[in-house]
Structure 1
Amino acid sequence: MTPTREAPVRVGLFGLLGSGNLGNDGSLEAVLGYLAAEHPDAVVDALCGGPEVVTARYGIPATRLHWNRGEYRTASRAGAIVSKGLGKLVDVARTAAWVRRHDVVIVPGMGVLEATLPLRPWGFPYSLFLLCAAGRLSGTRVALVGVGAGAISDRPTRALVRWSARLAAYRSYRDALSRDAMRAMGVDTARDEVHPDLAFALPTPPSPGPSGAVCVGVMDFHGGNDDRAGAEEIHRRYVDGTTRFVRALADEGRPVRLLTGDACDATVVGKILAAVDSPLVTASDAASLADLMKEAAAADTVVATRYHNLVCALKAGTPTLAVSYAAKSDALMAEMGLDAYCHPAREVDADRLLEQFRALEKHAAELRRTLAERNEAADRQLGRFFTTLTAALFPAAAPTHHVPTSRKAP
């Protein structure tokens, strides 16, 4: 008899992917790179927020995450409210059917277990719970890989996040704070791993040398999930303080490049460009984390708010100052040896930010050496992690060597 070939493993990727958030898509790209290198025969598809973008950019089949196309738009009319409610029921069946078609479903990175930005329980937390429950019922392994987590005060959201984590077959986190947060919420994390953010596995861009340019990463920041009452005032202070900082740099003759990390950040870029009105201040059109890393690598220094703007700059080895909106940013900066260079996003003080910026530039050479050492350590850690991930999710294919991670971009 001719021996039958083992069927290729079926891998699903799940999340708000292709929806305009470059950090989410960077995590997806890192996992796709891992799968291509170590499991090239795997059949891969996605259930995601922007299926057309995911298919066009990464060449994998993708299905829309929600039946209701207006899921993330505010429903004010009766018809829209009914459609949202019906969509929640339809998504139960759609998610379960999709999960059953796979051997493994991976949620690649992202802050899926946190609420550092405004979040409604019936939005993504509900979708994640459906995924993890469907995986448990069908026997499909659901893996939360390199995710972010945080303390959540809203009870419904906290309950959905806690049960999602408990129902998942595998969990790992991008920092120790995330694992501690899940432990505090009653999840057994004894076997859960902590490793660097998945984006550190992406190729490292070359540095063209000193340019005098400063990259300033901005964000459509309105505070966190518990700041809804003061959201507009928080946003005003953030934009005003950031604008003053950018204007001061331009007045000194420094080229400033404005970076974003999500489609919604374009409104803040527009406000700053209009207010400063200088040819020295320009906006990047980066469409991926790779593009953002190239921008960061070409700059002398980076000042950024979004978490994955920070990851890109640190990965590129560029001295970075964090305008921090959450503990995860502070933890990342500390891990990379730059904990002295954090500034609160809720209270941007342009004068104080300039002082910190001067200190950052003064110690730039030393900080570049520190970042080079920390990036090498992150690469080794991710190599070991991907090996253990294969052993956990694909035991029949577990390699005996460390999986290579970060590469130099051509």
Structure 2
Amino acid sequence: MTPPRVGVFGLLGSGNLGNDGSLEALLGHLRAARPDAAVDALCGGPEAVTERYGIPATRLHWYRGEYRTASRAGAVAGKGLGKLVDAVRTAAWVRRHDVVVVPGMGVLEATLPLRPWGFPYALFLLCAAGRLTGTPVALVGVGAAPIADRATRALVRRAARLAAYRSYRDEASRDAMRAMGVDTARDAVHPDLAFALPAPAASPPAPPSGTVCVGVMDFHGGNDDRARAGEIHRRYVDGTTRLVRALVAEGRPVRLLTGDACDAAVVTAILDAVDSPLVTASGAASLAELTAEAAAADAVVATRYHNLVCALKAGTPTLSLSYAAKSDALMERMGLGAYRHPAREADAGRLLEQFRELERNAPELRRVLAERNATVSRQLHEFLTTLTDALFPAKSRTVKETA
């Protein structure tokens, strides 16, 4: 058998710790299951991916200003030309591989603002190139959600149909794709790939420190909330700030967590508003570091999806400031479905009530999380074994022509 040539694709290395965690989990599995695999990436931050994970990487977009607003004629022309160039670049990159994997990430959803000609178009190009070149494209453990915008929905639906393999991180994602007209009869559902990352080292239970981790997000609502994005953001920041202030008033140390570089502005706003040495900002640069922060806390209140993953994986009682169905589904899977609060309507008084209840039930919740983590670990191991068999069948395949 020839070593498989595996491509990974996505907004990787761009500052989102959840996306990078999904890549890290996939690479860890590949290096154990197929150490001979030659892996490279087509991604948002190629330099960061190469430095951090030691694999060659190519920039996702030819036009470097792809995600900046185009207001001048030159920028508009550059973006337009970039779409054509990216079609050729993507097809050439895909053709060099035996399989291309999109690891995790919410690539089939619009729960955060995005434009159809951005990542949805890039994903469509990828899956179309896979069909044209005969290279299977696998969407592995991805998130999906209903999409109201017609153009975005059309691109996402078409990309999903063109993919050779699909699996989802929750039932709600599979249901959303079925509702969009994708045949999901053979699509698998399994825990988020990030649960395959190494768990925190076991240690004797530490006495309560009083520390609360609060995971914050530069939240403005979803793709359908653009008209009231400012109002949603102000309400979210105000409610979160009031919660932090109330905890500090009780002498509780508060550690602010993030999951994306853009969240720094919210951290700064809370630090300035509360102005207390009890409030500090985490510098965690990976999901492993976020998990360690959560493991050292008595409780966690978190917004970003992968902040929730880290806290729950750490076995720490967690309250979700939920902004999408994926957060609700994760909390239900891990047995904490009762501890959710809508991020769009962040109410400090109600949040504090829910937090009190969370802490009262902490011993039982830690027991539940230990059981659920064991189940999730087993389910994900079984899925990844099946995935390896599906993507790399034992029978040797003919190497594709590269000329």
What TM bracket, shorter-length normalisation? over 0.9
Which of 235, 259, 272 is equivalent to 1:274? Answer: 272
Which of 7, 13, 20 is equivalent to 1:25? Answer: 20
Within 5 Å, give how 1:175-190 maps onto structure 2. 175-190=170-185
Within 5 Å, give how 1:104-115 maps onto structure 2. 104-115=99-110
Matched, 1:198 2:193: yes
Cross-structure match for 1:327:
325
Q: TM-score, normalised by structure 1?
A: 0.95
Tell me, yes or no, if the aligned pair for 1:23 and 1:110 is still in contact at 8 Å. Answer: yes
CA distance in structure 2 between the partners assigned to 1:352 and 1:182 by the alignment:
34
Cross-structure match for 2:157:
162
Tell me, yes or no, if the aligned pair for 1:96 and 1:131 is still in contact at 8 Å. Answer: yes
Which of 378, 384, 402 is equivalent to 2:382? Answer: 384
Pairwise CA RMSD: 0.9
Cross-structure match for 1:394:
392
Which of 102, 114, 117 is equivalent to 1:119? Answer: 114
Deviation readout 1:301-323 (Å, 9 max, x if unpaired): 00000000000000000000000
- State the shift of 1:112 in Å: 0.1
Cross-structure match for 1:12:
7
Aligned AA (2:60)? L
Q: Which runs of 5+ in 1 are unaligned?
A: 1-5, 399-410
Deviation readout 1:188-246 (Å, 9 max, x if unpaired): 10000000000000111136623210000000000000000100010000000100000
Cross-structure match for 1:233:
231
Which of 72, 78, 85 is equivalent to 2:73? Answer: 78
Which of 34, 43, 66 is equivalent to 2:38? Answer: 43
Aligned AA (1:52)? E
Tell me, yes or no, if the aligned pair for 1:391 and 1:397 is still in contact at 8 Å. Answer: no
CA distance in structure 2 between the partners assigned to 1:115 and 1:373 by the alignment:
32
Aligned AA (2:75)? A
Cross-structure match for 1:370:
368
CA distance in structure 2 between the partners assigned to 1:18 and 1:90 by the alignment:
22
Cross-structure match for 2:138:
143
Cross-structure match for 1:401:
none
CA distance in structure 2 between the partners assigned to 1:28 and 1:189 by the alignment:
24
Moved over 3 A (4+): none
Q: TM-score, normalised by structure 2?
A: 0.97
CA distance in structure 1 between the partners assigned to 2:2 and 2:357 by the alignment:
57
- State the shift of 1:397 in Å: 7.4
Which of 303, 306, 309 is equivalent to 2:307? Answer: 309
Which of 350, 355, 358 is equivalent to 1:352? Answer: 350
CA distance in structure 2 between the partners assigned to 1:142 and 1:34 by the alignment:
18
Deviation readout 1:324-350 (Å, 9 max, x if unpaired): 001111111011110110001001100
CA distance in structure 1 between the partners assigned to 2:225 and 2:15 by the alignment:
23
- State the shift of 1:390 in Å: 1.1
CA distance in structure 2 between the partners assigned to 1:397 and 1:64 by the alignment:
33
User: Aligned pair count?
Assistant: 393
Tell me, yes or no, if the aligned pair for 1:390 and 1:397 is still in contact at 8 Å. Answer: no
Aligned AA (1:344)? P
- State the shift of 1:391 in Å: 1.4
- State the shift of 1:383 in Å: 1.0
